Amino acid sequence: MVKGLRREFSNWSRKWELTDMVVWVTGASSGIGEELAYQLSKLGVSLVLSARRVHELERIDILVNNGGVSQRSLCMDTSLDVYRKLIELNYLGTVSLTKCVLPYMIERKQGKIVTVNSLLGIIAAPLSSGYCASKHALRDTFLCCKVQTITESDEAECYMDDLLIFSNGHHSLPVEQLGKRQAGR
């Protein structure tokens, strides 16, 4: 079945130009989904992979937490719903994914979690109160987790790394536009 999939996929890929496309493969932990992910990776697509079997999380060696949205509005004009969305996505989403894989990494004594964060998690900026709060919460939570996960063996293992990104904001999507495509992209 997998050989047939490879043959069919190569015919299909000739019909469609897939380079630079983003493809989400569900059921990517085994079988057709896993093979599809391998074949798509050879074509230069950006992959989003997911699976429903929790035990497959044991196989993850590196988790890169990079999801998030920005916000630009005056504090007094920002609705509570916007603050909730920012905290749910930028903070709780990242913490949730980390909590799923970290126990397996600790059990195997192997793995790395990288959390991409913003300078605005350290300093405040105008028009970004909710974003700053969500990134500050993320930064401090992961600093605490980093300290807590260092083993007491002769050779300390650290499962957490943080990556601070400096951005001019051109690639940020305001939370009010979640699910909407930006013009020109």
Instruction: Return the active site residues.
Output: 131
Positive or negative, the Cα torsion across 132, 92, 163, 168?
negative
Give the CA dihedral 151, 138, 164, 156, nearest 10 degrees. Answer: 0
d(CA 133, CA 152): 32
What's the Cα-to-Cα distance from 104 to each of 84, 95, 127, 153, rounded to whole Å?
30, 15, 39, 18
What's the Cα-to-Cα distance from 27 to each of 6, 24, 63, 148, rounded to whole Å?
17, 10, 18, 33
On the 0-12 / 13-18 / 19+ scale of CB atoms within 10 A, 78 is buried
- 2-15 helix and 31-42 helix, angle to the nearest 10 degrees: 40
Closest CA to 65 of 97, 88, 87, 89: 97
- Give me the residue label for tokens 């894989």: 101
